[in-house]
Structure 1
Amino acid sequence: MNLLEEISKEINLPESSIYVMKDQLEDQLPLHQHPKSQILLVEGGLAFLETTNKQFYIPARHYVWIPPDVAHHVKFNTSGITITNIYFQDEKDLEHTFYGQIGIYPVTNLIWEMIRMAEQWQGKIHLGDWRYEFLTTFKHTLPQISTHPLPIVLPTTANPRLIPLLKYLAAHLTEMLDMPAVAEKFGLSVRTLTRLFQLHLGTSFLQYIKLLRIVAAMEMLLNGDKNISEVAYAVGYSNIAAFSNSFQQSVNSRPSEFVRLRNKQKTAASFHV
């Protein structure tokens, strides 16, 4: 039995159980899915949740809700990251908007305290246990608390013409990245490049660049090696106000608030330990 089969059996049986796991095993698994829904909390860095056609970014002090049977793979940007997973029983609740789609949400103080309590209970929790009732109530509370998902979703593609171009964009964020110039560099017309982005990525060239810059900024801010001004210039913004406004539109918080939440989470995690 391989690692995926072993973990899946442990998590998914019996179907009525809830499973709590605080570990980094998820990044060792290939693209996979569970018949149970899942909440995944990130601490200490930025995590990447990949599905078959999208890449979601989970920053500090945020969690992701994963519906059952959604294929996914988790990657980390640092070895110091901690992941807490809770796998919930199927209650046939996918008709609710919250439960039926992947979403990334800020961790409120209430959610933080409830997850802090739950992560002490490693392993299976069965019906009839008071902890089961606690976690079920926690699950039912989430749609009432988490009403504004984080809109940081970067589409991915296996298209051979776009893969090298997207790598080039990620490596040259400090530059202007003018669409005609990029198209010419890769032997494409502007019209063809526009069509490729819409067809395979479902977004425009400019919107993709904007998201790419914000994601890179999030990583830098979480690493803490640069201040906000340095980060802005490093991802291609010459104007700090423009960077702050763009960041706020994408992440629902200013860069300074994002850094504050990162520091708050680190302090809380250290205190918890």
Structure 2
Amino acid sequence: MKCGLSEKRKGEFDDEINIDAYVWYEKDWTHDDYDHVHQRYQLTYVEEGYQYFHIENKIYLVPQNHLIWIPSGKKHHTQSEASTVNLMVVLFKTVFDNDFYNKVHVFAAPPVLREMLQYASKWNKLLEEDEEQGYFLTALLNSLPHFCTEKKGLQIPIPVDPRLLPVCNYINKNYMEQVSLDDLADLSLMSVRSLQRIFKRETGITIQKYMQLIRILKSIELINTGEYTLSQIAFMIGYKSLSAFTNSYSGIMKEKAKIIGKS
């Protein structure tokens, strides 16, 4: 039994829950790191820590106080290096007729939604029908499209072209360095111009934007540890100044950066 679902075969879950919406709240969360799939729609709230969700050709970072919506039937798996991960998962059997529910979304939880999720924890692992639970979670589900302010910057695109995989792997390992486009072109066995064109076509972003994205995602992991000041983190991920880091962070997060820590 995982998240209330029964894993009859590795990665495949059978739904034996009678209620339409099922709540699972867990501290110190650990999850299998292999792909799994189920027919329920999944809302995951990261109360503490962070999680990476691997879905199709993208990796989604879900930091603390953020949510991810996963449509029915989407294969996914998670990973995290956070010391503590507290999650709430709500699994819905049915949803409203709205295209929102058929796509993956990552967004920050506004205060009112956090309060609603905290209240919903009273139904943790409840398998029997509860009238208030049904009305409350239906209202929460109906409100999600209105709460969602998409965080596109928290998605890491994965190219399909095999020539680009060594490029991404090199950036992922050497993000703290000043990576040369000439070196990346050599790895891909292409010219710099061809590399830039094909990378943008495959991922939707430039190589420079990809490097910036990787740095910011690494900074979120470091911030989560609580072991470093912001200035230390800025230099650890390859920025020459704190201001350059905070400007980059703000650009990726699409809002004024609110980073907990000392500069």
TM-score, length basis structure 2 = 0.84
Matched residue, 2:14: 8
Q: Superposition pairs for residues 244-255 of structure 1, below 5 Å? A: 244-255=246-257
Moved more, 129-138 or 26-35: 26-35
How big is each residue's C-alpha offset from its partner over 1:156-215, in whole Å with a ceiling of 9 and x where there is no partner? 145443333322212212211121233235543213322441343232111111111111
Task: Describe the SS at the equivalent of 1:27.
Answer: coil
Q: Superposition pairs for residues 34-113 of structure 1, below 5 Å? A: 34-95=38-99, 98-113=100-115
The 2-side partners of 1:68 and 1:52 are apart by 13
Relative to structure 1, is the Cα distance of residues 202 and 187 closer, same or farther in structure 2, using a 3 angstrom cutoff? same
Relative to structure 1, is the Cα distance of residues 199 and 148 closer, same or farther in structure 2, using a 3 angstrom cutoff? closer
Matched residue, 2:168: 166
1:33 maps onto 2:37 in alignment: yes
Task: Describe the SS at the equivalent of 1:123.
Answer: coil
The 1-side partners of 2:33 and 2:233 are apart by 32
Q: CA deviation at 1:119?
A: 2.2
Relative to structure 1, is the Cα distance of residues 65 and 110 closer, same or farther in structure 2, using a 3 angstrom cutoff? same
The share of aligned pairs that are identical, in percent, is 25
- Aligned Cα RMSD in Å? 2.5
Q: CA deviation at 1:68?
A: 2.0
The 2-side partners of 1:106 and 1:187 are apart by 40
Q: Which has the higher helix share?
A: 1
The 2-side partners of 1:244 and 1:252 are apart by 12
The 2-side partners of 1:178 and 1:200 are apart by 20
Relative to structure 1, is the Cα distance of residues 2 and 25 closer, same or farther in structure 2, using a 3 angstrom cutoff? farther
Matched residue, 1:222: 224
Q: CA deviation at 1:91?
A: 3.0
In structure 1, stretches of 5+ residues that fail to align are 261-273
Do the aligned partners of 1:26 and 1:74 also contact (CA within 8 Å) in 2?
A: no
Query: How many matched pairs?
Result: 253
Relative to structure 1, is the Cα distance of residues 2 and 72 closer, same or farther in structure 2, using a 3 angstrom cutoff? same
TM-score, length basis structure 1 = 0.81
Matched residue, 1:266: none
The 2-side partners of 1:143 and 1:193 are apart by 37
Q: CA deviation at 1:253?
A: 4.5
Do the aligned partners of 1:42 and 1:81 also contact (CA within 8 Å) in 2?
A: yes
Relative to structure 1, is the Cα distance of residues 239 and 45 closer, same or farther in structure 2, using a 3 angstrom cutoff? same
Residue of 17, 24, 27 corresponding to 1:21:
24
Task: Describe the SS at the equivalent of 2:14.
Answer: helix
Task: Describe the SS at the equivalent of 1:165.
Answer: helix
Q: Superposition pairs for residues 116-195 of structure 1, below 5 Å? A: 116-123=118-125, 129-149=131-151, 151-157=153-159, 159-184=161-186, 187-195=189-197
The 1-side partners of 2:256 and 2:231 are apart by 13
The 1-side partners of 2:226 and 2:83 are apart by 15
Q: CA deviation at 1:144?
A: 2.4
* Amino acid corresponding to residue 143 of structure 2 in structure 1: T
Q: CA deviation at 1:230?
A: 1.1
Q: CA deviation at 1:219?
A: 0.9
The 1-side partners of 2:65 and 2:185 are apart by 38
